[in-house]
Structure 1
Amino acid sequence: MQQLPKLDLKNKVSAQEWQLRVDLAACYRLLQMHGWDDLIHTHISVCIPGTEHILINAFGLAFEEITASNLVKIDIKGNIIDKDCPFEINPAGFTIHSAVHEVRHDDICALHVHTNETIAVASVEEGLLPLSQYSMFALASMSYHDYEGLAVNDDEKLRLQNDLGDKNFMLLRNHGALTMGKTIGDAFMHMYDLTRACQIQLQVMATGMKPIYAPQSIIDGIKAQANIVHDGETGGQKAWPAMLRRVYRNDPTFAE
């Protein structure tokens, strides 16, 4: 069995970068724990504030293998900063993440998944419907991007940026989902809401019964409420520490 290189960057990077590495590695582990991973594919990236550097997963590692130290630091062009880094990154995955990090400087984290539920809802003309409280959070800040094949062409980046705008949720048609956050915890909470919304929509539609849609006036009022829930004391700040504790209990090696 091939052994992964053993890396230890804890005392070789700034305290700010190390904490971001720990949070990002935890987020990868949480995706695996929730069944949102896709073998070695999809990505979560975070921009290190005050720099033009981005942390992302090494291509070829399963999410349960990702640690704070084996995350790869790159620039906005995808160049690896540490020339001694034994890993590479996925160029197709980085196209999406570089596009959003170029234009979304306050929202430092981008989380992208290929889950069955998000692909299914992204692949119907109606997209996400106002069928649950989870969907209200997403619909208050929802965007869509049409499928253009594997994300390897730089000319797709501008269209992706324009489609995303200032939204925190995106369904990529025939492809998956993307969420943005001012913190890693916020991006995770956004994806949690979007995933639950898609799951519930599919379950409601599978009943064959007539659904009840929430009115647009309710959706319009949710955005301010969502800001309190996910960026305030009851959301990102409270839920993320609990998620960190869950990952530590499951396997504390993520923080190495």
Structure 2
Amino acid sequence: MQELVKPNLKGKVSDLEWQLRVDLAACYRLLALHGWDDLIYTHISVRIPDTEHVLINAFGLTFEEITASNLVKIDLEGNKIDPEFPFEINPAGYTIHSAIHEVRHDDICALHVHTNETIAIASLKQGLQPLSQYAAFALASMSYHDYEGLAVNQDEKLRLQQDLGDKNFMLLRNHGALTMGRTIGDAFMHMYDLIRACQVQLHIQSTGQEPIYVPQSVIDGIKAQANVVHTGLTGGQKAWPAMLRRVHKIDPSFAE
């Protein structure tokens, strides 16, 4: 068995970059904990504010192996900032993330998954339906992108950008899901809501009974209601410290 290289970047990058590395590594661990990982084939990326640099996972590592120090720092074209860094990225997977980070400057985090539930709902013509509170959150900022095969075609980037627009939730037809966030915690909570919405919809549809739909007026006002619940903070800001404590308790090595 090949021994895993363990770089140590603590104290060698800015305080801001190190905190983003710790949060991003925690997010990878949370995806594994929730069963949202797909072997080594999905991605979470974060753009370091006021730079053109992005942090993303090393291709070939499981999400349980991701640490703050082994995240790869790249430019928007996918080139490693440090050519000597011992890990590479998945260039096919980065097509989606590079497209998004080129145009979404305030939303620094992009989270992409291939869960069964998101693929199933994304592959239905009607897509996500207003059948739950979780769906209401997602439908308040929902977009769709048609499947074009593996994301290796640079021409697809423009269509991804246009389809996403200013939305924070995207269902990728026949493929999976994407969420955006101004923080890593926001992107994580958006994905939590979207996956739960897809799970609930599948459960409801499996009953064969006529469902009750959430009114459009509720969907239109759900963000304002959420602001009351979170006292002006986003769901990610409120829940993220608790998620960090959870990961620390299970395995604190992510922060190395």
Paired-residue identity, %? 81
Match of 1:169?
169
The residue identity in structure 1 corresponding to 2:90 is N
Residue deviations 1:51-103, cap 9 Å, x none? 10000000000000000000000000000001211111001110000000000
Three-state SS of the structure 1 residue aligned to 2:138 is: helix
Note if contact 1:38-1:114 (Cα within 8 Å) is conserved in structure 2. yes
Change (3 A) 1:33 1:12: same
Given that 1:189 and 1:230 are in contact with CA atoms closer than 8 Å, whether structure 2 keeps it comes out as no
Number of equivalent positions: 256
Residue number in structure 1 paired with 2:45: 45
Question: In the TM superposition, what is the alpha-carbon distance from 1:114 to its structure 2 partner?
Answer: 0.1
Contact 1:229 1:236 in 2 (8 A): no
Matched, 1:156 2:167: no
State the alpha-carbon separation in 2 of the partners of residues 18 and 230 from structure 1.
27
Q: Which residue of 2 aligns with 1:112?
A: 112
Give the Cα separation in 1 of the matches to 2:115 and 2:231: 25
Task: Work out the CA distance in 2 between the residues paired with 1:197 and 1:98.
Answer: 27
Matches for 1:1-256 after TM superposition, within 5 Å: 1-226=1-226, 232-233=232-233, 235-256=235-256
Q: Cα–Cα, structure 1 residues 122 and 210, in superposed 2: closer, same or farther, change >3 Å?
A: same
**CA 234–72 in structure 1, closer or farther in 2 if over 3 Å, else same:** closer
Contact 1:66/1:254, CA 8 A, preserved across alignment? yes
CA 148–230 in structure 1, closer or farther in 2 if over 3 Å, else same: farther
Unmatched 5+ stretches in structure 1: none
Contact 2:120 / 2:174 at 8 angstroms: preserved in 1? Answer: yes
User: 3-state SS of the aligned residue for 1:105?
Assistant: coil
**Structure-1-length-normalised TM-score:** 0.97
Deviation at 1:227, TM superposition (A): 5.2
Higher mean C-alpha displacement, 224-233 vs 202-211: 224-233
Q: Is the 8 A contact 2:68 2:255 kept in 1?
A: yes
1:164-218: CA deviation from partner (whole Å, max 9, x where unpaired): 0000000000000000000000000000000000000000000111101112111
Shift of 1:125: 0.3
> What amino acid maps onto 1:161 in structure 2?
Q
**SS of equivalent residue, structure 1 residue 73:** strand
CA contact (8 A) 1:132 1:200 kept: yes
Question: Could you list the per-position Cα deviations for residues 18-73 of structure 1 after superposition, in whole angstroms to 9, with x for gaps in the alignment?
Answer: 00000000000000000000000110000000110000000000000000000000
Write the distance in 1 (CA, Å) between the matches of 2:48 and 2:232. 22
Measured in 1, the distance between the counterparts of 2:177 and 2:57 equals 18
Per the normalisation by structure 2, the TM-score is 0.97
Kept in 1, the 8 Å contact 2:109–2:180? The answer is yes
Backbone CA RMSD of aligned residues: 1.2
Q: C-alpha offsets along residues 102-122 of structure 1, whole Å, 9 cap, x if unaligned?
A: 000000000000000000000
1:231 deviation in Å?
9.2
CA 1:171–1:231 in structure 2 vs 1: closer, same or farther (change >3 Å)? farther
Residues 90, 231 of structure 1: alpha-carbon distance in 2 compared, 3 angstrom cutoff: farther
Q: Do the aligned residues in 1 keep the contact of 2:111 with 2:187 (CA within 8 Å)?
A: yes
When residues 230 and 46 of structure 1 are mapped into structure 2, their CA distance, relative to the original with a 3 A threshold, is farther
SS at match of 1:84: coil
